[in-house]
Structure formats: structure tokens, C-alpha cells
A and B are shown apart, each in its own frame.
Chain A
Amino acid sequence: MSLIAADHVCVRFGSDEVLHDISLRVDPGEIVTILGPNGSGKSTLLRALLGIVPVAEGRILREAGLRVGYVPQKLTIDRTMPITVRRFLSLPTRVSDAAAAEALARVGMAGQGGEQMTTLSGGQQQRVLLARALLGKPQLLMLDEPTSGLDQPGEAAFYRLIEEVRTQTGAAVLMVSHDLHVVMAASDRVICLNGHICCEGTPRVVSTAPEYRALFGLGTQGALALYRHEHDHDHKDGHPHHHHHDHDHA
């Protein structure tokens, strides 16, 4: 059964219908990306699935006792709040030093537990947020534009980390993004959103769907193809890649 599912969900802010008739599900172990331009309701969808935003119609179905790890888009910690990385990892559930050290090591932040959260770079902060999410041993990781503050190499490294985590822990991943190239290659399934679900499928299917191309414009195809070339060299782990495919489109 699915870990989490939306069943004909509508979300309204006042009279604005932000999300219309959304149905989706995430199965154990898969990486699903919600893709859409700014203002398409992607973050709202994630927040509705998490129960932060109430749904006006439809239902959110969660597997009983589902453990969710949430990584928000950005964490703005007030500078008046002194808090170390180690202390942050123990919120809201206290974790042992050993578990905290292991989580930090997994995200490439070994030995940095004593640093103040407010002095970390954007990329480091995202890694700490991921480490904190992993400490809850999640069956489902939900990430809201986790790389919005990162540069291109940082972004690619972060998605590699997500794939590693999926491989090591078997957690399913549901993430939101507006950037096409990196996400496409790292996902099993892509859902294209613009207030409603425009199209859905494997990255290969979605990238050729007319709805997707209309949403993002034709120019993106070149960037996508370019990225896939680069990405193939990073990953020789047997993921299906398909450069032949993208060059067909002008």
C-alpha cells in the first residue's frame, strides 16, 4: 500500500483555489518529484500532505504510524537564538550523541555538531536539516525545494546524497522542485503541477509530454539534454539514461 496519498484534494486560500483536484500517491522506496513553476502550488501541496495546510475538499491518506522526515525549503533561525547543530538535532525528540554523530557523518557534516546553526552556509544548513529528518528513521522523506539556496555543484551533490539515503535506508522520497535538470535524473517519477496535475510519469515520459513542454517552454530541453550528459558521468550505477531521446526535439 502507498505510504501517503492525496485523493481528489482541493486547497483554497480564501476564494483562491490554489490546488485543484489533486490525486497522487507515494509508494515505499520510490523517489517522486513534484515539478512546477513558481506559484504552481507545489509547496502548498507538500504542506497539505503534511497537514500544515487544511484541505478544502478531498482527503489525505497516510499509512498508520507513518514516520515522515521533513526538510523545509529554508530555515531562518533568529540570530537571538543560540543553538548548536547538536542541540538542533535533538528537537523535538532527543537523540543520543552516537546517533547524532552518525547522522552528521552520513550527510557529510561529521564533527560539526558544536557549530552554531546561524553560522552555517545554506548548503550546510540543508544537510543538517536532512540529518535531523533522518534521525527519525523516516519511511518517507519530504523535501521542499531542498537546494534552492545552493549553487549548481552543491545542488547535484545534494541530490546524490538523497539517492544514497534512499539506497541505504529504503526511505521513499517526495520532493518539490522548480529546477528541471538535476531533479529529472534523480527521480523515479515526476509529477508536473500547475494548480492541477498537468502530467505525470517517468522522467522520460514527462519530459516529452506536451503539457510539460508548454509549462516550461521549449528552451529547457537543451539544458536538460546538456545536464544528462554531465550526469551520466557522475553515476555509473545502472540508472537508465537516455540522451538519444532529448535531441529529437527542437
Chain B
Amino acid sequence: MLDDFLVRAGLAAVGLSLATGPLGSFVIWRRMAYFGDATAHAAVLGVALALATDLPIGLGTLTVALAMAVTVAGLSARGWAMDTTLGVLAHSALAFGLVAVSFFPTVRTDLSSYLFGDILAVSRLELALVWLGALAVLALLAWRWQALLTATLSEDLAHAAGLRPNRERLILVIALALVVAVALKIVGALLIAAMLIIPAAAARSFARTPEAMAALAIAVGAVSGLGGLGLSLWQDTPTGPSIIVVAAGLFALTSLRHRA
């Protein structure tokens, strides 16, 4: 069954949404959307570094995404004006990455697969890594769930309860870097943040608790993944963007209900 590239692609999309649903909810609650962008864009630089050093692409993206995420989290803790800082970092990382990748002629032709993903070419090994990474993120979030929610609602309440909000923030940062590394192959660096934000935003108007929102976001992400795959096959459109198009359509539908 796993021999079929479509089955592998479908499973990869579903696996990814297990992580992006809950993590995307935190990205929305904590207003980290731009932060997600910066981390995702840094992944392109990670691709270039991995090629230069002959390391696996996944390891390169994970390392650079983690470095970017920790840098940004550190800067924000020191009270920098975040939109400017993130704007500089996010786009610089992308530009540096694109320039660096161009030094590898074999990759240049293949660049779009890193920018927009190449889910139809997911191998068995990559599929296993997607699920492993997604389940790791899910387990990390589930383990710290109560503390993460408390720190997200109010850092003071978390402090008073003996929790350390800085540690919880670091956990989200690590989870974000993991998701970026996992999602690069599926939706590509440019649209990872969309995969985090749009399903969670669509889930918001139907949810009464944080848990319900996270679970619904997983469902919306999975439906978008499978729907995008279908759209891509039917209309011969690029798959990564098709997934986001379906997600955006679902979001539009739910926001109509929200207004009603």
C-alpha cells in the first residue's frame, strides 16, 4: 500500500496536521504568526548549509530553524520591537538561503520543491520521519499542555503557580523548529506558517475549549491536506499551494458561520 505515491502523500499530509493543529493553536493564541514565518524561511538557509556540508537536508533545516527560533525568542525576551526584528530576520534568512542555494547548480532547478514542497515525491523514509517528527511534537505539547496553557493565558499566573514561562516558551520554539523541518517537504518553506495558522483559525469559531480548538485544527489540517492532494491531481496544480488553497477555503466557510 505504501508503494503508491498518493497513499504516501496522503499519510504525510495527515501526519503533519497532527503537529500543526495544536502548535498552530498556540501560534495564534500567542500571536507568533510572524515568528513562525521567520523560522520557516530560515529552513531554506538550512537546505543550503546541508548541501554544502553533505549533511541530511532534514538535519540542516532543523538546526537552522532551531537557531533562528532561539535567536528570535531571545530577542523578544529582551524587549526588541518584534515586528521590525522579525521582518528583518525572516526575509534576510530567506534571501540568504536563496542566494546560498544558487551555488549548487543541481539544486537550482529543484528550488521550487523547497519553497513550495514536493509532497508527491515523499519517500517511505521521509514519511516515517514526518510521522516521527509530528508525534514527537504532539507528545511534547501533550506533556507540557497544562503549563503551556497557563503560561499562554498569563505569565504571572504561571509564575505564581511555580511554573517557568521562559521554559514553556522554549518548548514551543523547539516544537516549531521540528514542525518546520518536517513540513518543508510537504508544503514548502513559504507556506509552512499558513499550514500552522489557517487550520487553527478555522477551528476557532467552533471551539469552546483550547483542547477542542487544537483537535478541530488537526481535522481541518488533515482535510485540507487530502483535499489539496485531490485538487492537485484533478487540476494538475502544485500540491503544496493547493493544500493551503483548500485550507483557506475552509477558513472562509467557517468565518461566514462566525459572522452569522
Contacts and interface: CB of A to CB of B under 8 A. Distances in A.
B149 A91 contact: yes
Interface in A169-191: none
A81 B146 contact: no
B153 A91 contact: yes
A52 B156 contact: yes
Contacts of B154: 72, 75
A197 to B, nearest CB: 23
Secondary structure call for the A interface: loop
Interface residues of A, number: 24
A87 interface: yes
B159 A72 contact: no
Contact of A77 (B153, B161, B201): B153
Contacts of B48: none
A83 B153 CA distance: 10
Contacts, number: 66
Nearest to A76: B154
A91 B156 contact: no
Interface residues of B, number: 28
Nearest to B200: A80
A80 B204 contact: yes
A221 B201 CA distance: 53
Given A80-B201, A81-B153, A82-B212, 16 more contacts: A50-B160, A52-B155, A52-B160, A70-B156, A70-B157, A70-B161, A72-B154, A75-B153, A81-B210, A82-B209, A87-B211, A90-B146, A92-B150, A92-B161, A93-B146, A94-B146
Q: Which 7 A-B pairs have the closest CB atoms?
A: A70-B160, A92-B150, A82-B207, A52-B159, A92-B146, A91-B150, A81-B29
